[in-house]
Amino acid sequence: MANPLISELKRAFTGWFIPYRFNLERWAYALQRISGIAVTGYFLAHIVETGNVVGGLTAWSPTSTAMASDVWAATFRFLDNPLFDTGLIVIGFMLSFHTINGIRLTLTEFGLLQGKPSRPDFPYEPKSFSKAQRALFWVSILFAAGTAVYAFHVLFGA
């Protein structure tokens, strides 16, 4: 029999990926979490990558500048391939989306742009996801797309 904790975590996680029949706010929620995890992955890799330049886990005293320069250049060559570049474009999209949508969520946290509370009427549109909030969500998508285009230009352009 499967571990009940594991199966519950699995069910909770896959719940993110079936946001059909949910509204835009739910899509924003799923994307914010997925982009957060993606950027966290980048952060961890970046800490390891920069740590390696000064000698990694085995270095207990400052190494030479020449050696650090060599490791930096070698890292660059190793990562300079279309697969990694495509990954970076996705990370750029995720980071930009997470930034602007995060600002929207900060405004929400402090009760700004929320709309006035009113009687719930059919078709029960959430008042919390006001026009301004929707606009900010689409701004975050646009900003993210712009970042992806810029990243494409940097990584695959002349």
Partner 1 sequence: MLLHYVTGLGIVVVGFVHLFTIFLTGSYLQNLSFYGGPYSVLAVYRNLILVSTLELLLLFVDYHALNGIRVILIEFHQGTTWERGVSWILTVAGILLLIYGTRTILLANLLV
Site of interaction with partner 1 (CB under 8 A): 5, 8-9, 12-13, 33, 36-37, 39-40, 43-44, 47, 50-51, 53-55, 59, 62-65, 68-69, 72-73, 76, 99, 102-103, 106, 109, 154
Residue 122 has a CB neighbour count (10 Å cut-off) of 5
For the bound state, the minimum distance from the C-beta of residue 20 to partner 1, rounded and expressed in Å, comes to 21
For the bound state, the minimum distance from the C-beta of residue 38 to partner 1, rounded and expressed in Å, comes to 11
23 or 50: CB nearest partner 1: 50
43 or 78: CB nearest partner 1: 43
Q: Which residues, 6 or more positions from 52, have their beta carbon under 8 angstroms from its beta carbon?
A: 71, 75
10 or 124: CB nearest partner 1: 10
Q: Rounded to whole angstroms, how far apart are CA atoms 69 and 123? A: 62
Q: Rounded to whole angstroms, how far apart are CA atoms 57 and 90? A: 29
For the bound state, the minimum distance from the C-beta of residue 59 to partner 1, rounded and expressed in Å, comes to 7
Q: Rounded to whole angstroms, how far apart are CA atoms 29 and 34? A: 9
39 or 129: CB nearest partner 1: 39
Helix boundaries (H) for 54-81: 65-79
